[in-house]
A and B are shown apart, each in its own frame.
Chain A
Amino acid sequence: MKFLKQVGDYAKETVQAARYIGQGLSVTFDHMQRRPITVQYPYEKLIPSERFRGRIHFEFDKCISCEVCVRVCPINLPVVDWEFNKESKKKQLKHYSIDFGVCIFCGNCVEFCPTNCLSMTEDYELSTYDRHELNYDNVALGRLPYKVTQDPMVTPLRELAYLPKGVMEPHDLPPGSVRAGQRPEEILEQMEK
């Protein structure tokens, strides 16, 4: 009897396993008829979201060499090279650099800079052949990235959060379709009322 029960249990488990495999197969089979959601990268790019933290932009003339950015940085990363100018009795900035091979893009420096001379851009294409090339000096930091939406070589695509409700795929959105939720301007308008 015990043996028979064991065999019965085993058979039951087997049938269950077969059922699970069948369910799994039906899920994969169902996926086959969905459209691919691939973004074909060099030709199509996602528009980075509003708060995307990309490469940092730096404006040389606004910087007062206070080194707040160095202090708030988790790893004291920005290198502020200044000299005291005796005539104007002010610190004079000579060089400024951030090594993006080390930076974690936390945005602390941007948050705390008293003169707002640091800002986040939407540039994420930072690959180089040599990681020392990622050490950007103040000239490189001052360059603005090219916007995805203005690049004639690139089809800009909206990210999932910026699509209308129920739409999963950015490829053939009708023009003028609005994303779910309110835009910042609308929220501002409401607040002013």
Chain B
Amino acid sequence: MNPGIDLQGTFIQSLKDLGIPSGAAKAIWMPLPMFLMIIGATVGVLVVVWLERKISAAAQQRIGPEFAGPLGVLQPVADGLKLVFKEDIVPAKTDRLLFTLGPIIVVIPVFLSYLIVPFGQNLVIANISVGVFLWIALSSIAPIGLLMSGYSSNNKYSLLGGLRAAAQSISYEIPLALSVLAIAMMSNSLSTIDIVEQQSGYGIFSWNIWRQPVGFIIFWIAALAECERLPFDLPEAEEELVAGYQTEYSGMKFGLFYIGSYVNLVLSALLVAILYLGGWEFPIPIEMLGSWLGFNEASPMLQVIDASLGITMTLLKAYFLIFIAVLLRWTLPRVRIDQLLNLGWKFLLPVSLVNLLLTAALKLAFPGAFGG
């Protein structure tokens, strides 16, 4: 594999050339990817909110947002602004600290998880060897935040809602982790980069979805449930069920929950794209394409094209999955809480266990195809 573009290295090197000591150069570099991550995630959320409103409008033969900006693209911004300017009400006799901490704890781990999302060989903020594990660990913080905000609202229905949300998150965490485990086993690594790398051999045919179709479906279902998307949006069905954990929240604190769930949706879609759909890989291997068209493999031109193609491909795959999630939202009815738990514990868990065992067996039997 060629090293591709090394943004960090070139950035630091060019600062050093300007006469800045290497420690300072590294310190200047550090906030850049963080800001990039936050801005990227926020823009992703705005796009998803707009897409959701437009697609759902199309599915119902409506028009959707139209007046804020061309085709209503500024509508999510307007919504966000409205939430910012709303009064922030804290109910009487709440635990103020927990009440404020709750939404923050729900949101921050989701943003942090963006650290491990790679858009290319070197286009990742932190290439840690336990990337996927880190994501699973981070995503299990969210239930604590949900429980916290439900508990601190000084409202028994909110408490029940918080418990419900936590129960849902926990019961879908396990099949999710198990299906990720199968992937990790196949690619002999927990690093997202390695996982994509391992799928890069034969273009579209080497994507994990062909080797892990069951795992893919389980992962997507569990991810939808984790993001509290329909048909699993029991914890936050504000209008219908009344008693969610966020009943007492208003203004931006409520908005944080919303942002959290949308960021989580984008993140899950990105991760599905990375784990199962070959991440930044083009359906045809890019090196092959390059050699067909007669490019030098190490030419900077090809590398820039490769990087931008990688970002585009990852986003395309992720947004395709988001599109499916939106379609699902307008197709499926919401499940009941007992159906939800049944599905999680009695269906997804055993199926993902079997899937894991099968993967292990296949790995032993066909080490070539299943990553020996």
Q: Are A29 and B63 in contact (CB under 8 A)?
A: no
Partner among A28, A38, A40 whose Cβ is within 8 Å of the Cβ of B331: A28
Contact B331 A25 (CB under 8 A): yes
Q: List A1-48 residues whose CB lies under 8 Å from chain B.
A: 14, 21, 24-25, 27-29, 31-32, 34-38, 40
Chain B: residues with Cβ within 8 Å of the partner, total of: 15
**Contact yes or no, B327 A35, CB < 8 A:** no
List 17 contacting pairs A-B, 8 Å CB cutoff, sorted by A. Answer: A21-B331, A25-B327, A25-B331, A28-B59, A28-B327, A28-B330, A31-B59, A31-B61, A32-B55, A32-B58, A34-B61, A35-B61, A36-B58, A36-B63, A37-B61, A38-B63, A40-B63
- Count how many chain A residues have C-beta atoms less than 8 Å from C-beta atoms of the other chain: 15
Given contacts A31-B58, A32-B58, A34-B61, contact A14 B347 (CB under 8 A): yes
| A24 engages B331 (CB within 8 Å) | yes
Q: How far is the CA of A31 from the CA of B59 in the complex (A)?
A: 5
For the complex, give the distance between the alpha carbons of A106 and B347 in Å. Answer: 54
Q: Which residue of B lies closest to A40 (CB)?
A: B63
Instruction: Give Cα distance in the complex from A38 to B327, angstroms.
Output: 20
CB distance from B133 to the nearest CB of A (A): 30
| Besides the known contacts A25-B324, A25-B327, 16 further A-B residue pairs in the complex with CB atoms under 8 A apart | A14-B347, A21-B331, A21-B332, A24-B332, A25-B328, A27-B331, A31-B58, A31-B59, A31-B61, A32-B55, A36-B58, A36-B61, A36-B62, A36-B63, A37-B61, A38-B63
Expressed in whole angstroms, the minimum distance between the Cβ of B232 and any Cβ of chain A is 14
Q: Is the interface of B mostly helix, strand, loop or mixed?
A: helix
Q: How far is the CB of B86 from chain A (nearest CB, A)?
A: 22
* A-side contacts of B330, CB under 8 Å: 28
Inter-chain CA distance A25–B330, complex, in Å, is 9
Residue of B62, B328, B330 ringed by the most chain A CB atoms within 10 A:
B330
Task: Decide: A36 and B57 in contact? CB cutoff 8 A.
Answer: yes
Taking A25-B328, A25-B331 as contacts, is the C-beta distance between A31 and B347 under 8 angstroms?
Answer: no
Which chain A residues border B328 with CB–CB below 8 Å? Answer: 21, 25
Q: In the complex, A24 Cα to B59 Cα: how many Å?
A: 12
Provide the bound-state CA to CA distance between A36 and B327, in Å.
17
Give chain A nearest CB distance to B367 CB in angstroms: 29
User: Would you give the 0/1 interface string for B312-342, flagging 1 where the beta carbon is closer than 8 Å to chain A?
Assistant: 0000000000001001101110000000000
Give A26's nearest chain B residue, CB to CB.
B331
Shortest B175–chain A CB gap in Å is 14
Please, how many angstroms separate the alpha-carbon atoms of A27 and B61 in the complex? Answer: 12
**Bound: A21/B332 CA distance, A:** 7
Scoring A residues 84 to 105 as 1 if CB is less than 8 Å from chain B, else 0, what string do you get? Answer: 0000000000000000000000
CB-nearest residue of chain B to A33? B58
Q: What 5 pairs between A and B have smallest CB-CB spacing?
A: A24-B331, A32-B58, A28-B331, A38-B63, A36-B63
